[in-house]
């Protein structure tokens, strides 16, 4: 997707990206059997002592009486132990190989994200499901691709995979304004631009009770600041049935999300470039718009043009989102109509074909304006 340059966006322009990440589990394979706790005889331990201590334990584990077969049982167990010792080296090599493969996968993923940031020229990026803990300065530098990145982190905890917000510190000064269990907020001030705004990254859990706590947390955070603000994240629910594949009814989670948006006086932008932001499986029989940008009325009044787009999916089953805000102009086009067109054979069918060839997703009034523009 072509991205408008900052020069075209105008002097006052901001590009914000949102990308959920999900670390893949590469620890597949069979589980190692849990040992019975049998100790094999040392050189100074007699065979009878060893059998006295461990054959009884083995019998109780399997419910088998080994009386009269102690020597054969001993030979079998010693052979099993010998094979196990030989397999440990192979298992160690396999484990090392998996770790190297996992590290290589993470490097590739970070390389893809770095190229994504460069291509789409984002000023601020919000990552979710990062699975990052502790000191991550080096990882941030590797992902951003230069030393001009600053960041704030909400560490992963339990089912919450963590949030990292990064920004170009040559353009913005960032200061943490609030950190909660499900969200983190940053106040940005322009280095060369007289503009101050807030960004909140949120990850709403699947659990309904915890999601209700998220709405309260975001409301409290919103009360800490005034002025232009943006809220982005994975809300783990949709707002309308049309935002979920093969869904035809409104549920309570949808209603609660709509009520939250209305109570916070936020604006829910139309999504350009696709219907859904999350898909499961190759055939995509399960898909929904779980991720979104929400903006305040003050943010809307500060920019002539605001566009939310879904981008190509790369490193997750969630697609990245981009919010472009600026003063770019539009080329005026004039509509002309000749009455004699109506008398031409096939005119109505041709107009119908053209009209249906334009595909936009959103509210009916948005689709109509988009097709006419």
Q: Convert the pLDDT of each residue in 316-330 to its tens digit.
A: 788 889 998 877 555
User: What's the mean pLDDT in 127-135?
Assistant: 77
Q: At what angle do helices 137-144 and 70-120 cross, to 10 degrees?
A: 50
The end-to-end CA distance of the chain, in Å, is 20
pLDDT of 281 > 50? The answer is yes
Q: What is residue 80's predicted lDDT score, i.e. its pLDDT?
A: 66
Instruction: Tell me the pLDDT of the chain averaged across its residues.
Output: 76
Q: What is residue 218's predicted lDDT score, i.e. its pLDDT?
A: 93
Look up the domain containing 128 and give its range. 6-24+100-335+356-372
pLDDT of 52 > 60? The answer is no
Q: What is the CATH number of the domain that holds 119?
A: 3.60.10.10
Q: What is residue 188's predicted lDDT score, i.e. its pLDDT?
A: 94
The residue among 149, 180, 147 whose CA lies nearest residue 167 is: 149
Residue 36's pLDDT band, with cuts at 50, 70 and 90, is: very low
Cβ atoms within 10 Å of 231's Cβ, excluding its own: 25
CB burial of residue 164 (10 Å; 0-12, 13-18, 19+): buried
The residue among 324, 366, 316 whose CA lies nearest residue 124 is: 324
User: What's the mean pLDDT in 341-354?
Assistant: 83
Residue 175's pLDDT band, with cuts at 50, 70 and 90, is: very high
Q: What is residue 318's predicted lDDT score, i.e. its pLDDT?
A: 86
Asked if residue 315 belongs to a domain, the reply is: yes
State pTM to two decimals: 0.65
The span from the CA of 9 to the CA of 121, in Å, is 12
What would the two tokens of residue 73 be?
Answer: 């049982």
Q: What is residue 255's predicted lDDT score, i.e. its pLDDT?
A: 92
Q: What is residue 5's predicted lDDT score, i.e. its pLDDT?
A: 35
pLDDT of 295 > 90? The answer is yes
Asked if residue 61 belongs to a domain, the reply is: no
Asked if residue 303 belongs to a domain, the reply is: yes
Asked if residue 40 belongs to a domain, the reply is: no
Asked if residue 148 belongs to a domain, the reply is: yes
Q: What is residue 26's predicted lDDT score, i.e. its pLDDT?
A: 27
Asked if residue 47 belongs to a domain, the reply is: no
For the chain, the three-class secondary structure string (H helix, E strand, C coil) is CCCCCHHHHCCCCEEEEEEECCCCCCCCCCCCCCCCCCCCCCCCCCHHHHHHHHHHHHHHHHCCCCCCCHHHHHHHHHHHHHHHHHHHHHHHHHHHHHHHHHHHHHHHHHHHHHHHHHHHCCCEEEEECCCCCCCCHHHHHHHHCCCCEEEEEECCECCECCEEEEEECCCEEEEEEEECCCEEEEEEEECCCCCEEEEEEEECCCCHHHHHHHHHHHHHHHCCCCCCEEEEEECCCCCCHHHECCCCCCCHHHHHHHHHHHHCCEEECCEECCCCCEEECCCCCEEECCEEEEEEHHHHHHCCEEEEEECCCCCCCECCEEEEEECCCCCCCCCCCCHHHHHCCCHHHHHHHHHHHCCCCCCHHHHHHHHHC
The span from the CA of 81 to the CA of 74, in Å, is 11
pLDDT of 16 > 70? The answer is yes
The span from the CA of 250 to the CA of 242, in Å, is 10
User: What's the mean pLDDT in 7-30?
Assistant: 51
Q: What is residue 337's predicted lDDT score, i.e. its pLDDT?
A: 73
Q: Measured between alpha carbons, how far is residue 75 from residues 8, 44, 64, 79, 87 in Å?
A: 81, 18, 17, 6, 19
Buried b (16+ CB within 10 A) or exposed e, 295-311: bbeebeebbeebbbbbb
| Residue with token string 């949709």 | 238
User: What's the mean pLDDT in 79-94?
Assistant: 60
Number of structural domains (the chain) is: 1
Query: Looking at 40-49, 150-159, 230-239, which range is the least confident one?
Result: 40-49
Asked if residue 36 belongs to a domain, the reply is: no
User: What's the mean pLDDT in 215-233?
Assistant: 91
Q: What is residue 314's predicted lDDT score, i.e. its pLDDT?
A: 75
Q: What is residue 284's predicted lDDT score, i.e. its pLDDT?
A: 59
pLDDT of 10 > 90? The answer is no
The residue among 169, 194, 174 whose CA lies nearest residue 186 is: 174
In degrees and rounded to multiples of 5, residue 140 shows phi and psi of -65, -45
In degrees and rounded to multiples of 5, residue 309 shows phi and psi of -130, 145
Q: What is residue 30's predicted lDDT score, i.e. its pLDDT?
A: 34
The span from the CA of 289 to the CA of 276, in Å, is 4
- Better-predicted residue by pLDDT, 284 or 287: 287
Q: What is residue 256's predicted lDDT score, i.e. its pLDDT?
A: 93
Residue 213's pLDDT band, with cuts at 50, 70 and 90, is: very high
pLDDT of 267 > 80? The answer is yes
Q: What is residue 32's predicted lDDT score, i.e. its pLDDT?
A: 37
Asked if residue 76 belongs to a domain, the reply is: no
The span from the CA of 359 to the CA of 371, in Å, is 8
């Amino acid at each position: 997707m072509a991205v408008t340059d900052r020069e075209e966006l105008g002097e006052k322009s901001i590009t914000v990206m949102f990308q959920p990440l999900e670390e893949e589990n590469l620890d597949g394979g069979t589980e190692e059997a849990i040992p019975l706790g049998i100790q094999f005889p040392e050189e100074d331990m007699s065979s009878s002592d060893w059998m006295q201590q461990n054959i009884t334990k083995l019998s109780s584990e399997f419910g088998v009486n080994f009386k009269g077969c102690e020597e054969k049982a001993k030979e079998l167990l010693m052979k099993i132990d010998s094979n196990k010792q030989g397999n440990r080296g192979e298992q160690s090599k396999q484990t090392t190989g998996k770790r190297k493969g996992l590290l290589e996968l993470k490097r590739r993923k970070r390389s893809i994200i770095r190229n994504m940031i460069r291509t789409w020229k984002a000023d601020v990026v919000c990552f979710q499901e990062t699975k990052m803990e502790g000191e991550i300065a080096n990882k941030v530098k590797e992902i951003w691709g230069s030393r001009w990145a600053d960041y704030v982190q909400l560490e992963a905890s339990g089912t919450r995979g963590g949030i990292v917000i990064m920004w170009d510190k040559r353009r913005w000064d960032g200061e943490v304004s609030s950190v909660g269990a499900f969200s983190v907020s940053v106040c940005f001030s322009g280095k060369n631009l007289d503009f101050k705004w807030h960004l909140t990254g949120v990850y709403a859990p699947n659990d309904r009770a915890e999601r209700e706590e998220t709405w309260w947390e975001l409301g409290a955070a919103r009360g800490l600041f005034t002025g232009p603000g943006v809220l982005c994240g994975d809300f783990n629910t949709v707002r309308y049935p049309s935002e979920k594949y093969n869904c035809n009814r409104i549920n309570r989670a949808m209603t609660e999300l709509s009520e939250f948006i209305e109570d916070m006086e936020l604006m829910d932008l139309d999504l350009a470039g696709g219907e859904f932001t999350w898909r499961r499986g190759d055939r995509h029989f399960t898909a929904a718009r779980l991720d979104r940008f929400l903006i305040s009325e003050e943010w809307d009044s500060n920019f002539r043009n605001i566009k939310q787009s879904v981008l190509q999916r790369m490193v997750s089953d969630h697609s990245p989102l981009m919010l472009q805000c600026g003063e770019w102009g539009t080329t005026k086009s004039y509509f002309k109509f000749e009455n004699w067109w109506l008398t031409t054979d096939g005119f109505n069918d041709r107009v119908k074909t053209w009209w249906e060839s334009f595909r936009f997703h959103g509210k009916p009034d948005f689709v109509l304006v988009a097709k006419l523009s």
